[in-house]
Structure 1
């Protein structure tokens, strides 16, 4: 009887992992879309994944930081090598999600969790951001 319960728990855990992976793949697809609305959907889906699966927080924070860096690079290329005066709405949302969730990252991971080198941070606050 105990063996059957153990197998059932393992199946449930595996199913939950599969669902999280599927949600993650869909969210990344939205994040890579051209539409700001789709990108926002992907960002907030990733935030939900972090809430539901705290072990994935570091991965999601790194992904969002990478998306911000890539967006900033593209903006600089389109702006003659200069950072634009404003930040795109999806980037601002990603900054807000990072600000709300980065406190969950502890230990040695915290030091490498957030790489925003060369990101456009014009008028963006990561402290006390309640967006």
Structure 2
């Protein structure tokens, strides 16, 4: 009897593994898998970065809030000290405000507005006794006012922005403001008799009606300033920069103007009796009082 034959595998079945092994689509599958993996990694990294940014933003916001609270607390403390009836506490408050202005550019104008108001309130011109202000007297502002003036004079003026320092109509006789940064400051009607303003920058300052008799303005910069109505009798203006300044009708009796720069300055109607003009600098653009004979150049 013939034994039955064992059924064989179809030829197609036998060749399927070989065809799959050599299938041309495998590179595309591999590329897709790689792309999916890369996309997943990219998305994961992006999500991580987003959460990091959110966390950093929240931290920064919290820091900014804490910083603003700290600034507010410092400002409140300084204001309280400035209102104290003890002069040493007031001086401490002035220095605290100065530190705050240095630490916070945004608060700089506000700080100096407060200090200016403090000076104007405490030293109004109406209470000023000019008869006491003489070159040989010891008249000077109280220590807290002088401290405020010193702080104002050494501030970083570049941070003033649109703010203009206002010390108008105050009594500052005998004040020490050597090297002070007073450019553009409103000094209208201020009493500065016997004040020390050596090397001070007063360019663009408002000086209408300002009393600077006996003041020391050695090498001070007053270039192009309008000094109409200013009292400068017996003031020391040695080496002062007065280029282009308007000194019309200014009281300069007995003033020291030796080596001062009066190029293009207008002195029409100025009182120059007894003024020392030794070595003064001037040019054809300098306008002298009618009938006045300037020293030879």
TM-score, length-normalised on structure 1? 0.83
User: Which residue of the partner structure matches residue 105 of structure 2?
Assistant: 54
Aligned equivalent of 1:8:
59
Q: Return closer, same or farther for 1:106/1:73 CA change in 2, 3 Å cut-off.
A: closer
Distance 1:38 1:107, change over 3 A: closer
Task: Judge conservation of contact 2:109–2:160 (CA < 8 Å) in 1.
Answer: no
Cα pair 1:73 1:118 within 8 Å, conserved:
yes
Aligned to 1:36: 87
CA separation of 1:22 and 1:107: change in aligned 2, threshold 3 A = closer
Higher relative contact order, structure no. (Cα contacts within 8 Å, ≥ 6 residues apart): 1
Query: Which consecutive residues of structure 1, in runs of 5 or more, have no partner in the other structure?
Result: none
The answer as to whether partners of 1:57 and 1:104 remain within 8 angstroms in 2 is no
The separation in 2 between residues aligned to 1:120 and 1:88, in whole angstroms, is 11
Q: What TM-score do the two structures reach when normalised by structure 2?
A: 0.38
Bigger radius of gyration, 1 or 2?
Answer: 2
Q: 8 Å contact 1:50–1:57 — kept in the other structure?
A: yes
Residue aligning to 2:150:
96
Segments of structure 2 that go 5 or more residues without pairing to the other structure are: 1-51, 133-138, 181-297
User: Quick check: 1:61–1:102 contact (8 Å CA) kept in 2?
Assistant: no
Return the offset for 1:55.
Answer: 1.5
Do structure 1's residue 128 and structure 2's residue 175 form an aligned pair? no
1:118 to 149, 169, 174: 169
Q: When you count helix as a share of all residues, which structure comes out higher?
A: 1
Alpha carbon RMSD of aligned pairs, Å?
Answer: 2.1
Distance 1:38 1:95 in 2: 17
Aligned pairs, how many? 122
| 2:166 match: secondary structure | coil
